Amino acid sequence: MRLVQPRYRAIPYKQIGLGTTDRSRSSGKHRFREDSRDRIKSWQETRYEGTLVVGLPKFDLDTYISGYAGRTRIDRLIHISTHSPPLAIEGLKLAIKLLKQTQDVPRFKFALDILRKLSPEDADAAQDDAWIEKTSRKVVGDTERIEADLKSYKHNLIKESIRIGHEDLGNHLYASGDLVGAFKCYSRMRDFCTTPKHIVDMSIQAIKVCIEQGHYLTVQSHVLKIRNLARAPDEEELLRPKLCVVTGLTQLANGDFRAAARSFLDCPPTLLNTYNEVITANDVATYGGLCALASMERTQLKTEVLDNVEFRNFLELEPRMRKAISFFHTAKYSNCLSILEDSKNDFLLDIHLHKHTNRLFELIRSKGIVQYFIPFSCVTLGSMAQAFATDERTLEKELVMMIGKGALDARIDTKNRLLTAKETNLRAAVHRETLAVAQNYERLARMKLMRMNMIRSGLEVRGSKASTGQVNMGIAHGQNSSWTGNSQKAERNWREFM
């Protein structure tokens, strides 16, 4: 997708004035930390990064955002507003409307400041001081009340009450926008958890906060903590979908697309909308499909994706992704890439995919070129350009980059406009493989003979653990004459063998 200069005024970061909003509460006991997502770049900066979406996406914004719940709805709306000039105003208005149903005053001010900079004359850009004052007082009052209750629980030394008190305070801070404080409260619950279910509940809450903060290393540690717990079969059935998608998101964020694909492919269809405060079933189909296209071979796409009974339920929600995978499997690369290109705006506006979209597209296209060239020893650049719906000059640049990276073992004949495979001496390759097998066989034979000599020389420790301990004690007290003689005999035998 070629990005053109948008017809919108570039808004410098300093002009927006982020970071000037007062995030402190009147109580002074807690202060809101600036969330990692509470930053916006100018259209120009976003365009240079390749994530500015000038065209309209395929989805309807209201329908798209209605599939999510909780704080992720607001995060996704603000992300769309900061990456899509055509949807900026509409997305901010929806975010402000949702924020007024919460207690997140700093987030409300943040979205309002952006809208005021983009459209100062808009009626929705006016600051609602009455709501801000009322909500701020309620947040302070609830915080003081919950902290007082928690202090009394600690005085009475009731572990279950203390755990619930930390959880209540964490939920309150999370709803108020203090993600750092919420995570600390959830972490303090660990010392007062008395059952595996308590640990699972604590970890699930912490995972949700860490995903919104982008702290995926902590997410991974909590996932491992849950997996190591003993759980009943019914609990495992409820937790498995969440653990699969959370693991997939962590691997996607780390750029491990193959592992992410397998995690999403293993997700049971029982996920549905049970975890839509983080991810929906449509997202599982999109993330899993793209990662599979970028990391799996054509045969694997057939056996592990298209014929996957569990993942097929997710693909039915995203028919375009299913068609793209089917086209790639049948070597119709231009059709596959065309479908993906049409949906690229949607991927760039996704809060988890936008950083990896260009890389995923590059891997999918490169893999398609390699798969297309495998049956041929020589192919014209014109036929390849037609197969991948591009021109020869652009294709030639791609091929040069792939050959330079070692992804394609071929040469370009610029005079005859051909791509030719490098000639390899098959006889020499067979000789090298045979020699390697013989050397490995000789190494294994020598190791087995050495073991036989050690057993024959009496260097093998036999008997139970008790007798083994007695042998070791005898050696420690100087009773090692027979051991020394056996070792010398083994050394002579080994020298004779070598």
Look at residue 489 in the predicted model and tell me its pLDDT. Answer: 55
Axis crossing angle, helix 196-213 with helix 216-227, rounded to the nearest 10: 160
Residues 6+ apart with CB under 8 A from 29: 143, 147
Look at residue 407 in the predicted model and tell me its pLDDT. Answer: 80
Nearest alpha carbon to residue 259 among 250, 270, 268: 250
- Structural domains in the chain, CATH included, are 13-127 (no CATH), 376-421 (1.10.10.10), 426-497 (no CATH)
Look at residue 136 in the predicted model and tell me its pLDDT. Answer: 94
What's the one-letter identity of residue 58? K
Count of other CB atoms within 10 angstroms of residue 299:
9
Look at residue 23 in the predicted model and tell me its pLDDT. Answer: 36
Q: Is the separation of the CB atoms in 345 and 351 below 8 Å?
A: no
Burial of 147 (0-12, 13-18, 19+ CB in 10 A): middle
Q: Output the pTM of the full model.
A: 0.75
Q: Is the separation of the CB atoms in 330 and 38 below 8 Å?
A: no
- Residue 3 in 3-state DSSP? coil
390-419 b/e (C-beta count within 10 Å ≥ 16 → b): beeeebbebbeebbeeeebebebeeeeebb
Look at residue 46 in the predicted model and tell me its pLDDT. Answer: 56
| The CA-based dihedral angle spanning residues 39, 44, 49, 55, taken in that order and rounded to the nearest 10 degrees | 100
Axis crossing angle, helix 129-156 with helix 159-176, rounded to the nearest 10: 170
Look at residue 11 in the predicted model and tell me its pLDDT. Answer: 36
**Which tokens sit at 442?**
């000789």
Look at residue 72 in the predicted model and tell me its pLDDT. Answer: 94
**Which tokens sit at 195?**
């059952």
280: left (phi over 0), alpha (psi -120 to 50) or beta: beta
Look at residue 6 in the predicted model and tell me its pLDDT. Answer: 38
191: left (phi over 0), alpha (psi -120 to 50) or beta: alpha
Look at residue 208 in the predicted model and tell me its pLDDT. Answer: 95
Look at residue 20 in the predicted model and tell me its pLDDT. Answer: 34
pLDDT in tens, the chain (498 residues): 333 333 333 333 333 333 333 333 333 334 333 443 444 455 555 554 556 777 788 888 999 999 999 999 999 999 999 888 889 999 999 999 999 999 999 999 999 999 988 888 888 888 888 999 999 999 999 999 999 999 999 988 888 999 999 999 999 999 999 999 999 999 999 989 989 999 999 999 999 999 999 999 999 999 999 999 888 888 888 899 999 999 999 999 999 999 999 999 999 999 888 899 999 999 999 999 999 999 999 999 999 999 999 999 999 999 999 999 999 999 898 899 999 999 999 999 999 999 999 999 999 999 988 888 877 778 888 888 888 878 888 888 888 888 888 888 788 888 888 888 876 666 777 888 899 999 999 999 999 999 899 888 888 777 655 544 444 444 444 444 444 455 555 555 545 545
- Residue 379 in 3-state DSSP? strand
Residues 6+ apart with CB under 8 A from 24: 31, 32
Look at residue 403 in the predicted model and tell me its pLDDT. Answer: 86
